[in-house]
Structure 1
Amino acid sequence: MNSGESHFHTRRSALATLIAAALLARGQPSLAAPAPQPGAARFGYDDVVAQARILGGRPFDSGGLTIPSELSKLTYDSYREIRFRREKALWQESGSDYRLLPFHLGFLHDKPVQLHVVKEGNAIPIPFTTSLFEYGKVPVPKQLSPSLGFAGFAVTTTLNDPKVQDEVISFLGASYFRLIGRGHRYGLSARSLALDVGGKQPEEFPFFRALWLEEPKADSLDLVIYALLDSPSVAGAFRYVVSPGRTTAMSVTATLVPRVEIPRIGIAPLTSMFLAGEGDLGHRTDFRPEIHDSDGLLMQNGSGEWIWRPIRNPASLRISSFGDRDPRGFGLMQRDREYGHYQDLEAHYHARPGYWVEPIGDWGEGRVDLIEIPTNNEAFDNIVTCWTPARPLDIGKASEFTYRITALSTTNELHAMAQVRNSFSGWDSRDPDADGMGKQRFIIDFGDGDLAYFVSDPKRVEIVASTTAGSIAHTIIAANSATKGFRVILDATLPVGQTADLRVYLKSRNRTLSETWTQSWSVPAPAVRDAPGHVVTRD
């Protein structure tokens, strides 16, 4: 911790540190703590908020954020050699199904996080010791301080089998965390806060200075975590309550104290990878038909409309904003769960979850932003979505946001309407014709909901299509017995140099049958030869 946090150290926490260090030195798997003194305050979220208020009221201090060079020089391969000894996992004697496993510092994980266990109301620091880790071919570091800290942690529980410990959540890197439900594989990530994503200046990455985990009891169902976040622009306190299960959920309370005005602050940000989907033949790098952690952004706006926006790997940075007030939910989803659509025996993209964010309380005016960044490598997350308030948060004042994140396998349980199952671009004639108009065909498959009822009489189903620019030239609807739904074909035209947002949904008389599919497209200015061998683009 930095000097600004010394106010919160007490004789009781110092004693707890010594006891914890002694137990770990003897190889004990769990921490002990002195009994709380009568009338003594129990550590909780208010204590973390108090620290965030103090940090936010002071200039950012980068002191204490370096690690020994022997750790920062670790390569990707050498860092992977270092593994936590599972037999030393904390909480083995708590009687609960939870186990705590810290991560070692090194490689890209170069900001130390101070980990604590809250036991009987006492916040007990977890001292670093090399005896907690196996180092493989990497030489065991020497003379590392017990106060070094860690890179983060993972928690395991009996998620998939009552007799087997599996990871359910991990915190690693800046303010990133991941959670999974039953049968899931890790895929996309959540972040506690995003700053200037897609902005004109470089993105700023807030990080955790300290994390606290309440030691679960034998009958504990939930896991409670506190975090102190810091960054040059903002300090913050977070409370996470994790509820593992078939659909693991996490309730989040965030208290943010900006040091400066932040034009683009992302609340409840999610980040994912999209390299190639069913409509991206040109982005495939090998035999696999599709390569992505998520395939679409799902939203329910404040008026109750459900909206589906397919994700793409764009040719250039693309930012889409959906203005709203008090959104009901948004998230990045992996709807396609068919193994055969991915053919990946290692990544298991078909088993990766989607994250659904449900705001709690009044979030006011703002927008859901979707940032799509070009990539040719599946190792990098290139998709970000978040809620951006309409006006910057007040400098020096605490602003609170509360929401819930759920790890889902399917979106069928979120609403009862028909959903977008696939969408493709058909023939593409965006090169303008003699009239200066580009043309493109879009194909959308709607399924589920109550569409099966209408398959025998497609004339009762109406396409509602609109565009913000250009025109809808032609639409076709056809029953699709394979999906028990309908296929929509839409031809759109657009003047050269313009961008349009398309919207399509199905209805029968005055009854809305489906969520709204939306997509943007553009007709770029043609390249012309301005001199021999010199090609330029005219705006």
Structure 2
Amino acid sequence: MSLGHKWSAWLCAAVVATSGAASARQPSAPAKAGARMQQPFTAATVVERAKALAARPYQEPRSTLPEAYRTLSYDAYRDIRYRNDRALWREDGLPFQAQFFHPGFLFPVPVVVNVVEGGRAQAVRFSPDLYTYGSLVKPGPLAQADGFAGLRLTHPLNRKEHFDEVVSFLGASYFRALGQGNVYGLSARGLAIDTALPTRPEEFPAFRELWLERPVPGVDRVVVHALLDSPSVTGAYRFTLIPGARTVMEVEATLFARKAVEQLGIAPLTSMYQFGENDRGTFDDFRPEVHDSDGLFVWTQDGEHLWRPLQNPAHVNVSSFRAKGPRAFALLQRDTDFRSYEDLEARYERRPSAWVEPVGDWGSGTVKLVELPTANEAADNIVAFWVPDAPLTPDAPLRIAYRLHWGAESPWAASGSVVTATRVAAGETAGARRFVLDFSRSPRPGDGPVEAVVTASKGQVLHTTVRPNESSGGWRATFELLPDGGAPVELRAYLRRDSETLTETWSYLWIP
């Protein structure tokens, strides 16, 4: 079972990196829309397409690419580079430019990409003139294709005179974005179906067609529409991208079921966790930590903030967090200190966090966290998503909206202290494990003793302590767990002063 591969993570940066980011001061001819006839386009166009598609039997898409391009090696695919001077809208002085990923390798089924202007949509024509083909590409330039592997948008994100990559859509329904100062890390997906179910394999919906609205001069937002298709579900998506220190994506989706879905994963986030301070495993590595994300954050309707540090388990872990009408959930890279990673190439401290903020009432459901074992940092092994209690059935489409926030800083001010570190070691009691939790400086300082409230689903909690952490201005809480047998133990802890809760709730699954 696989939740997603990191080829797209590397390729988004590597396939086009050597051509450099486009400069707004060097105009050249943009890629032109092809000879296909223009079609009327409105916000309802994709919804109507998705509805009609769901009424027909699913057809597995077939690649029309020559065999040589379907079997390109990783290095050969990286040797195909988009020509910077052919970026769409490069000459037009607009706040965004577009480039298109070459089909082939892991992306053999081309995606049709359209440009929308003045209420009319026209497909962008593939041309080998859009690319340079390096010496590793033995087939040479591709004469023609029915589309592209995906697209990326650039914008003056970090410097006014330089167009940086800010978002990419590449592979199945995967996409990712950056805030200021970030490098690519975790991904989002349009939909997750039957992820980590023991009864059936996971289904990977894919974006089959994209529509890119021409940006408005002087307005720092751009809209991308996507048509999703899979054996079980079709969907119409509208993404409004607003770049900034924390980049925001406003997502609106309408989903249609071809058949009943056992587990529908809404707003899935996919990431990588190999090892960290709480779970180093047996990795013999000079780096202290290796991960794109270090924890799951859940904000419930009643105001509780929950923090679950990630792990790289020996077997698949699936954790569920009941949350009626959640305010938010997220996969965070909370630790942004270079000294925690010491990696001059991967720069894990610059990987963005991603928060899902529901728009409207999502009703009752569950935030699910899936953790898969991984032996290396090349594969995504973490996914988090929302599973509504109400099923998606063919007779009732689902309309849902949410915001995705990408960046280093939370969209909301902390109401209490947060967990900054989790460490696990041998306890003083025979057979016990010691847990050391660091909490940040409190935004609500006060007087009086602070206590740690620790609970365990099994076993005994021993030797609980709390003391100020003079180096951070926060607190350090410690306790020991004496397990009762070999069953997993759910742990929870938070700090309080009298009846006042001072911190978020730390949640942990301890597996002997």
Q: Same fold (TM over 0.5)?
A: yes
Q: Which amino acid aligns with 2:441?
A: D
Distance 1:295 1:321, change over 3 A: same
**How far apart are 1:497 and its partner, in Å?**
3.4
Q: 284-293 vs 300-309, which deviates more?
A: 284-293
Q: 199-208 vs 45-54, which deviates more?
A: 199-208
Structure 2 SS opposite 1:460? coil
Tell me how far apart the structure 1 counterparts of residues 480 and 280 of structure 2 sit (CA, whole Å). Answer: 20
**How far apart are 1:106 and its partner, in Å?**
0.9
Q: How does 1:194-205 map to 2 (within 5 A)?
A: 194-200=192-198, 201-205=200-204
**How far apart are 1:334 and its partner, in Å?**
0.5
Tell me how far apart the structure 2 counterparts of residues 256 and 280 of structure 1 sit (CA, whole Å). Answer: 38
1:370 corresponds to 2:369: yes
Distance 1:143 1:327, change over 3 A: closer
Partner of 2:215: 216
Tell me how far apart the structure 2 counterparts of residues 60 and 123 of structure 1 sit (CA, whole Å). Answer: 25
Tell me how far apart the structure 1 counterparts of residues 441 and 51 of structure 2 sit (CA, whole Å). Answer: 49
Q: Which amino acid aligns with 2:103?
A: L
Structure 1 SS opposite 2:477? strand
Partner of 1:4: none
Q: Out of 419, 422, 440, which is 1:447 matched to?
A: 440
Q: Which amino acid aligns with 2:125?
A: P
Partner of 1:118: 116
Partner of 2:490: 501
Structure 1 SS opposite 2:44? helix
Q: Out of 180, 183, 189, which is 1:182 matched to?
A: 180
Tell me how far apart the structure 2 counterparts of residues 219 and 49 of structure 1 sit (CA, whole Å). Answer: 29
1:274 corresponds to 2:273: yes
Distance 1:339 1:423, change over 3 A: same
Tell me how far apart the structure 1 counterparts of residues 464 and 411 of structure 2 sit (CA, whole Å). Answer: 27
Structure 2 SS opposite 1:495? coil
Mapped contact 1:270–1:332 kept (Cα < 8 A): yes
Mapped contact 1:114–1:149 kept (Cα < 8 A): yes
Structure 2 SS opposite 1:316? coil
Q: Which amino acid aligns with 1:219?
A: G
1:464-515 Cα distance to aligned partner (Å, 9 max, x none): 2222233323311111111101111111233213222111111112221110
Partner of 1:13: none
Cα RMSD for the two superposed structures: 2.2
Mapped contact 1:56–1:396 kept (Cα < 8 A): no
1:50 corresponds to 2:48: yes
Mapped contact 1:297–1:330 kept (Cα < 8 A): yes
Length, aligned pairs only? 482
Q: Which amino acid aligns with 1:465?
A: V
Tell me how far apart the structure 1 counterparts of residues 80 and 142 of structure 2 sit (CA, whole Å). Answer: 17
Q: How does 1:388-407 map to 2 (within 5 A)?
A: 388-407=387-406
Distance 1:277 1:142, change over 3 A: closer
**How far apart are 1:440 and its partner, in Å?**
2.1
Partner of 1:151: 149
Tell me how far apart the structure 1 counterparts of residues 305 and 195 of structure 2 sit (CA, whole Å). Answer: 25
Q: Which amino acid aligns with 1:29?
A: P
Partner of 2:339: 340
**How far apart are 1:311 and its partner, in Å?**
0.5
Mapped contact 2:133–2:140 kept (Cα < 8 A): no
Structure 1 SS opposite 2:103? coil
Partner of 1:489: 478
Partner of 1:254: 253
Tell me how far apart the structure 1 counterparts of residues 435 and 412 of structure 2 sit (CA, whole Å). Answer: 27
Distance 1:185 1:364, change over 3 A: same
Distance 1:429 1:500, change over 3 A: farther
Structure 2 SS opposite 1:281? coil
1:326-381 Cα distance to aligned partner (Å, 9 max, x none): 11000000111111111111100011110000011111111000101011110000
Tell me how far apart the structure 1 counterparts of residues 283 and 342 of structure 2 sit (CA, whole Å). Answer: 13
Partner of 2:9: none
Distance 1:143 1:109, change over 3 A: closer
1:193 corresponds to 2:194: no
Q: 395-404 vs 62-71, which deviates more?
A: 62-71
Distance 1:522 1:237, change over 3 A: same
Mapped contact 1:275–1:283 kept (Cα < 8 A): no
Tell me how far apart the structure 1 counterparts of residues 315 and 372 of structure 2 sit (CA, whole Å). Answer: 7
Q: How does 1:22-101 map to 2 (within 5 A)?
A: 28-31=29-32, 43-101=41-99
Tell me how far apart the structure 1 counterparts of residues 130 and 69 of structure 2 sit (CA, whole Å). Answer: 16
**How far apart are 1:265 and its partner, in Å?**
1.3
**How far apart are 1:193 and its partner, in Å?**
0.6
Mapped contact 2:252–2:400 kept (Cα < 8 A): yes
Tell me how far apart the structure 1 counterparts of residues 80 and 409 of structure 2 sit (CA, whole Å). Answer: 35
Q: 412-421 vs 273-282, which deviates more?
A: 412-421
Q: Which amino acid aligns with 2:465?
A: I
Mapped contact 1:335–1:411 kept (Cα < 8 A): no
**How far apart are 1:95 and its partner, in Å?**
2.3
Tell me how far apart the structure 2 counterparts of residues 502 and 208 of structure 1 sit (CA, whole Å). Answer: 39
Mapped contact 2:180–2:245 kept (Cα < 8 A): yes
Mapped contact 1:130–1:141 kept (Cα < 8 A): no
Structure 1 SS opposite 2:323? strand
Tell me how far apart the structure 1 counterparts of residues 201 and 33 of structure 2 sit (CA, whole Å). Answer: 44
Distance 1:50 1:65, change over 3 A: farther
Mapped contact 2:29–2:85 kept (Cα < 8 A): no
Tell me how far apart the structure 2 counterparts of residues 142 and 522 of structure 1 sit (CA, whole Å). Answer: 52
Unaligned runs of 5+ in 1: 1-26, 524-539
TM-score, normalised with respect to structure 1:
0.85
Tell me how far apart the structure 1 counterparts of residues 64 and 203 of structure 2 sit (CA, whole Å). Answer: 18
Distance 1:285 1:112, change over 3 A: farther
Q: Out of 129, 135, 138, which is 2:133 matched to?
A: 135
Tell me how far apart the structure 2 counterparts of residues 90 and 428 of structure 1 sit (CA, whole Å). Answer: 60
Tell me how far apart the structure 2 counterparts of residues 64 and 189 of structure 1 sit (CA, whole Å). Answer: 25
Partner of 1:14: none
Tell me how far apart the structure 1 counterparts of residues 108 and 31 of structure 2 sit (CA, whole Å). Answer: 26
Q: Out of 454, 459, 481, which is 1:465 matched to?
A: 454
Distance 1:497 1:280, change over 3 A: closer
**How far apart are 1:413 and its partner, in Å?**
4.0
Q: Which amino acid aligns with 1:190?
A: A
Partner of 1:5: none
Mapped contact 2:29–2:91 kept (Cα < 8 A): no
Partner of 2:464: 475
Tell me how far apart the structure 1 counterparts of residues 232 and 481 of structure 2 sit (CA, whole Å). Answer: 44
Q: 154-163 vs 255-264, which deviates more?
A: 255-264
The 4+ residue runs of structure 1 with deviation greater than 6 A are none
Structure 1 SS opposite 2:366? strand
Q: Which amino acid aligns with 1:234?
A: V
Distance 1:131 1:159, change over 3 A: same
Higher relative contact order (CA 8 A, sep 6+): 2
Partner of 2:20: none
**How far apart are 1:31 and its partner, in Å?**
3.8
Structure 2 SS opposite 1:194? strand
Structure 2 SS opposite 1:46? helix
Tell me how far apart the structure 2 counterparts of residues 65 and 116 of structure 1 sit (CA, whole Å). Answer: 19
**How far apart are 1:151 and its partner, in Å?**
0.2
1:227-280 Cα distance to aligned partner (Å, 9 max, x none): 000011111110000000110010001111111111111100001111110133
1:417-473 Cα distance to aligned partner (Å, 9 max, x none): 10100001121699xx8xxxx63221110112236x35xx6x521212222233323
Partner of 1:425: 424
Q: Out of 513, 519, 524, which is 2:508 matched to?
A: 519
Structure 1 SS opposite 2:166? strand
Distance 1:120 1:62, change over 3 A: same
